[in-house]
Amino acid sequence: MDAWQFLILGLLGLFGGALAGLVGIGGAAVFVPSLIFVAGWDMKEAVGASLVITVFTALSGTLRDIRSEYPVSWKTFAILSSVVAPSTLVGAAIRRFSPEPLVKFVFATLLFFIAYPTA
């Protein structure tokens, strides 16, 4: 890794971390497009890195919110986790056989629909 790529990834990490702390967004919405379009990674590499990054982002947010005025809803966590974990494996299997342009298009469409109500 050269110094330029190290700098770019560091700045992306600062930006994504700040957004995660500010509005609870990070992971796929910030890191996947950034790694693809700024760092030049392919979709599969960016998604894999984003999944690992999201674990740490979520952990730090959980630790911050455990004792806040808006505590973690462990019931919601249990329900969503029981569905999200298996469906992630299904999504990964589908992605393995899907052409990358289609995956990028679906991802971009999802980001558009997520962003639209906030405008």
Tell me the per-residue pLDDT of 13-65, one tens digit each, with 9 for 90 and over.
888 888 877 777 766 788 888 888 888 888 888 888 888 888 888 887 788 77
Domain coverage including residue 18 = 3-118
**41 to each of 37, 47, 103, 116, how far by Cα in Å?**
7, 10, 14, 26
Structurally, the chain folds into a number of domains equal to: 1
Q: What is the model's pTM? A: 0.68
